[in-house]
């Protein structure tokens, strides 16, 4: 961040909400209910770390119960505070609404630096946090379903599951109390890469829209687009991977310690290996060092993808950013001031709350899998393959021609779990992109895509509240 103003993240979400609410027909009461955080649970609990007792501060916020369960990740970070968790929970409500995932928004946070603890200590903290949630009825397959977020992953989700199960023996749907689990613990294939893949599908769809690209003076398609990715965590890594595989050039990757650049494109896997081995992204053999993370943000490029934390682009550095498209893979990387700068400059900002919805979309698939107690594809894979073989055999017999072995394998293949998850995600992201763009096109006064996304979300949550009969 280039300015030192203290920023309330929740206030900035409210600001964006109010900007969009003007373009909806809901009365003030419904709007007030939509934006309010319904439940905030702040807890402090002791954990023995070495010879000391540490008092850990943690949160779980349920922003909306217009649909249940509530859904949202749990982050481990020293920046966790009530304001941040409330903002992130609110974004989850809007995100789920946009991608038609039938959950209310929630978020959790534990104020720790996970790097400072052993995995045994982290396990103790995670298990204690989970038991606090259980005691207050803040977790459960039909109540509130956590997931990974910044600083957490499948390992932490497995600890949460195990603690929950221990406290709910015999509960048949207990695997659905948390998502993002390892596959062996009821996770779904495709969850790890889901957010990055969703970011790619969303931006690819926008880039396929000729009118939108013309306005930005860009050609349609992903091929040869220059891309800068900030953050090489799970989201940044997979986003970079799908862009490279789609034919784009990832010309720079930034991390907190600095950034690297190569005009011909970087390979994220090689960069990742280098960083793991050397402890820094800098001095990568296939790239040039950029001293500051911000140097990468300000590079000449077609698409800039902030994939780390919130508020990295504000009114201070926004004027220096040259990208034509900004794809918000992180939650809240731009402040409202930055939005205004980009609206004036004509930069297209593809907003976080829909663009990074791939994670929660696949979490939804995982939750459905847990409730149905069967792996996707198990019932139909073999049937489809047998049927495809039969059809192909008939075609060959009737035409007297033979299909090549490679084509045969491709055509006959019945969908595995991962195929279905990826295609469900692709469908979700394409539909959401088109829905938001239609709203934006249908009202020329809507200033930017974020506002259009909020309008989309507000209308869906508003309809839900109205149909619940809470506001007759
Ligand atoms: N933490 C992710 C997000 O911010 C995923 C949430 C989920 O899967 O519930 O969208």
Separation of CA 332 and ligand 1 centre (Å): 13
Quickly state the pLDDT bin for 470 (edges 50, 70, 90): low
Determine if ligand 1 sits within 6 Å of the CB of residue 359: yes
Average pLDDT, the chain: 95
- Mutating to test ligand 1, I would choose from 71, 86, 87, 147 the residue with most ligand atoms within 8 A of its C-beta, which is 147
Q: Is 331 near ligand 1, meaning CB less than 6 Å away?
A: yes
**Range 430-447 average pLDDT:** 97
List of domains in the chain: 37-187 (3.40.50.10860), 188-380+415-472 (3.40.50.720)
Q: What percent of the chain has pLDDT over 90?
A: 93
Q: Over the stretch 270-280, which tens digit does the pLDDT of each residue have?
A: 999 999 999 99
Structure confidence at residue 5 (pLDDT) = 52
- The closest of 112, 104, 149 to 129, measured between CA atoms, is 112
Cβ neighbours for 299, distance < 8 A, ≥ 6 positions apart: 228, 251, 252, 261, 290, 322, 323
Interatomic CA distance for residues 441 and 444, integer angstroms: 6
Least confident piece of the model among 7-11, 158-162, 275-279, 343-347: 7-11
> What number is the average pLDDT over the span 23-43?
96
Instruction: Please choose, from the candidates 88, 97, 200, 94, the residue with its C-alpha nearest in 3D space to the C-alpha of residue 147.
Output: 88
Task: Say if ligand 1 is within 6 A of residue 71 CB.
Answer: yes
Residue 1 has pLDDT above 50, yes or no: no
Are the CB atoms for 35 and 97 separated by under 8 Å? no
For the record, the structure tokens of 233 come out as 């965590």
d(CA 30, CA 26): 6
Ligand 1 neighbourhood includes 151 CB (under 6 angstroms):
no
Residue 179 Cβ contacting ligand 1 at under 6 Å: yes
Q: Contact, 86 vs 10, CB < 8 A?
A: yes
pLDDT(446) > 80: yes
Atom of ligand 1 nearest to the CA of 360: 8
* HSE value, Cβ hemisphere, 13 Å, CA-based, for 203: 32
Cα distances (angstroms) measured from residue 265 to each of 63, 252, 259, 299, 321 = 41, 7, 14, 14, 20
- Ligand 1 in contact with 363 (CB < 6 A)? yes
Q: Is the CB of 147 under 6 A from ligand 1?
A: yes
| pLDDT-derived band at 6, boundaries 50, 70, 90 | low
CA 363 centroid distance within chain: 10
Average pLDDT over residues 246-264: 96
Q: Give the mutation target among 13, 109, 148, 156 for probing the ligand 1 site: most ligand atoms within 8 A of CB.
A: 148
> If you take atom 9 of ligand 1, which residue's CA is the nearest one?
72
SS3 for 464? helix
CB of 456 within 8 A of CB of 98?
Answer: yes
Closest ligand 1 atom number to CA of residue 74? 1
Instruction: Report whether 328 contacts 307 (CB < 8 A).
Output: no
Atom of ligand 1 nearest to the CA of 73: 1
Identify which of 96, 110, 363 to mutate to test ligand 1's pocket (most ligand atoms within 8 A of the CB). 363
Distance 199 CA to ligand 1 centre (A): 13
Q: Which residues have a Cβ under 8 Å from the Cβ of 237 and sit 6 or more positions away?
A: 196, 268, 272
Over residues 104-130, the mean pLDDT reads 98
Q: What pLDDT is recorded for position 293?
A: 75
* Residue 455: exposure state from Cβ atoms within 10 A (0-12, 13-18, ≥19): buried
Q: Which atom of ligand 1 is nearest to the CA of 91?
A: 4
Q: How far is the CA of 43 from the centre of ligand 1 (A)?
A: 21
**Measured CA angle at 341 (ends 338, 346), to 5 deg:** 120
For the question of whether the overall pTM of this predicted structure is more than 0.85, the answer is yes
Residue 309 pLDDT exceeds 90: no
Q: What's residue 469's pLDDT?
A: 65
pLDDT at position 343: 93
- CB neighbour burial string for 418-442, b if at least 16 within 10 angstroms, e if fewer: bbbbbebbbebbeebbebbbebbee
Task: Tell me the backbone φ, ψ of residue 404, rounded to 5 degrees.
Answer: -65, 160
Q: Which of 102, 157, 122 has the alpha carbon at shortest distance from 47?
A: 122
Give the confidence band of 418 by pLDDT, cuts at 50, 70, 90: very high
pLDDT value of position 2: 41
Decide the pairing of beta strands 348-350 and 325-327. parallel
Listed range (247-251, 305-309, 368-372) with the worst mean pLDDT = 305-309
Output the pLDDT for position 466: 83
- Nearest atom within ligand 1 for CA of residue 145: 9
Instruction: Give the distance between the most distant pair of CA atoms in the chain.
Output: 79
Residue 3 scores a pLDDT above 50: no
Which residue's alpha carbon is at the smallest distance from atom 8 of ligand 1?
A: 360
Q: Using the mean position of ligand 1's atoms as its centre, give its distance from the Cα of residue 388 in Å.
A: 37
Residues 142-195 pLDDT 10s: 999 999 999 999 999 999 999 999 999 999 999 999 999 999 999 999 999 999
**Active-site amino acid positions:** 107
Q: Please enumerate in sequence order all residues whose Cβ is within 8 A of that of 331, keeping only pairs 6 or more positions apart, or say none.
A: 88, 91, 310, 352, 353, 356
β-partners of residue 47 are 54
For residue 355, pLDDT over 60 is answered with yes
């Amino acid at each position: 961040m280039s300015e030192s103003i203290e920023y309330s993240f929740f206030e900035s979400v409210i600001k964006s909400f109010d900007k969009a609410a003007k373009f909806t027909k809901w009365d003030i009461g419904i709007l007030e209910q939509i934006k309010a955080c319904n439940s905030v649970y702040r807890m402090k609990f002791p954990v023995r770390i070495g010879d000391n007792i540490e008092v850990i501060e943690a949160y779980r916020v349920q922003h909306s119960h217009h649909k249940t369960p509530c859904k949202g990740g749990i982050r481990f970070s020293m920046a966790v505070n009530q304001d941040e968790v409330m903002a992130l929970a609110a974004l989850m409500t809007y995100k789920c609404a946009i991608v038609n995932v039938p959950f209310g928004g929630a978020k959790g946070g534990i104020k720790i630096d996970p790097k400072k603890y052993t995995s045994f200590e982290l396990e103790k903290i995670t298990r204690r946090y989970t038991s606090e949630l259980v005691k207050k009825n803040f977790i459960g397959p039909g109540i509130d379903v956590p997931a990974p977020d910044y600083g957490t992953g499948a390992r932490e989700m497995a600890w949460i599951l195990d603690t929950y199960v221990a406290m709910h023996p015999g509960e048949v749907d207990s695997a659905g109390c948390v998502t993002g689990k390892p596959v062996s613990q009821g996770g779904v294939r495709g969850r790890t890469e889901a957010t990055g893949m969703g970011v790619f599908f969303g931006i690819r769809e926008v880039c396929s829209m000729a009118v939108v690209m013309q306005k930005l003076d860009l050609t349609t398609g992903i091929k040869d687009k220059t891309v800068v990715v900030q953050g090489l965590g799970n989201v940044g890594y997979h986003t970079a991977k799908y862009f490279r595989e789609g034919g784009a050039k990832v010309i720079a990757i930034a991390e907190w310690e600095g950034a690297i650049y190569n005009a011909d494109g970087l390979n994220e896997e090689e960069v990742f290996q280098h960083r793991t081995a050397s402890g820094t992204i800098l001095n990568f053999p296939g790239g040039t060092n950029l001293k500051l993370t911000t140097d990468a943000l300000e590079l000449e490029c077609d698409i800039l993808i902030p994939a780390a934390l919130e508020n990295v682009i504000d009114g201070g550095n926004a004027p220096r950013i040259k990208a034509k498209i900004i794809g918000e893979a992180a939650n809240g990387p731009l402040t409202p001031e930055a939005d205004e700068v980009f609206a004036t400059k004509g930069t297209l900002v593809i907003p976080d709350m829909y663009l990074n919805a791939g994670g929660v979309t696949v979490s939804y698939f995982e939750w459905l899998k847990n409730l149905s107690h069967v792996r996707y594809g198990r019932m139909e894979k073999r049937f489809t393959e047998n049927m495809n073989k039969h059809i192909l055999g008939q075609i060959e017999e009737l035409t007297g021609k033979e299909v090549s072995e490679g084509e045969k394998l491709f055509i006959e293949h019945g969908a595995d779990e991962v195929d279905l998850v990826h295609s469900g995600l692709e469908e979700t992201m394409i539909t959401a992109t088109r829905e938001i763009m239609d709203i934006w096109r249908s009202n020329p006064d809507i200033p930017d895509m974020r506002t259009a996304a909020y309008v989309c979300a507000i209308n869906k949550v508003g309809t839900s509240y109205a149909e619940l009969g809470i506001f007759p």
